[in-house]
Amino acid sequence: NAGVTQTPKFRILKIGQSMTLQCAQDMNHNYMYWYRQDPGMGLKLIYYSVGAGITDKGEVPNGYNVSRSTTEDFPLRLELAAPSQTSVYFCASSHETGTGEVKLFFGSGTQLSVL
């Protein structure tokens, strides 16, 4: 199993450009998430999805959009990139284990710089 796969690994954008960060999982997880990680700030939730066709905002959704047309894929769209969106982006997926413990499986991240 590949787990959670993110592409690209690195990207440099100019201010105002747009791009899509790709995320795919092969574990048949219903739940998927996008987090961003900034130095000294931990990870913050951008958007999440509880299943195909269902998405909702997290803590820091402004400037981003998502879609979930299949169980496997959860792309994150940046419109009109801004320097404040310079960050490392992590996609994750999960299923509930039945014991009340939720284990998130993270991808390796996309390092994005907006200049």
Partner 1 sequence: QQQVKQSPQSLIVQKGGISIINCAYENTAFDYFPWYQQFPGKGPALLIAIRPDVSEKKEGRFTISFNKSAKQFSLHIMDSQPGDSATYFCAASYSSWGKLQFGAGTQVVVTP
Of 45, 52, 60, 82, the one binding partner 1 (CB under 8 A) is 45
Q: Could you tell me the smallest distance in angstroms from the CB atom of residue 98 to partner 1? A: 10
| 28 binding partner 1? (CB under 8 A) | no
Instruction: Identify whether the C-beta of residue 29 lies closer than 8 Å to the C-beta of residue 105.
Output: yes
114, 46 contact by CB (below 8 A): no
Q: Kindly state the number of chain residues that form the binding site for partner 1, as judged by CB under 8 A.
A: 25
Determine the distance from the C-alpha atom of residue 92 to the mean position of all C-alpha atoms in its chain, rounded to a whole number.
7
Is residue 58 involved in binding partner 1 (CB under 8 A)? yes
The type of residue at 9 is K
Given 1, 14, 100, 115, the residue binding partner 1 (CB under 8 A): 100
Counting contacts by CB under 8 A, is residue 11 touching partner 1?
Answer: no
Alpha helices in the chain (DSSP H): none
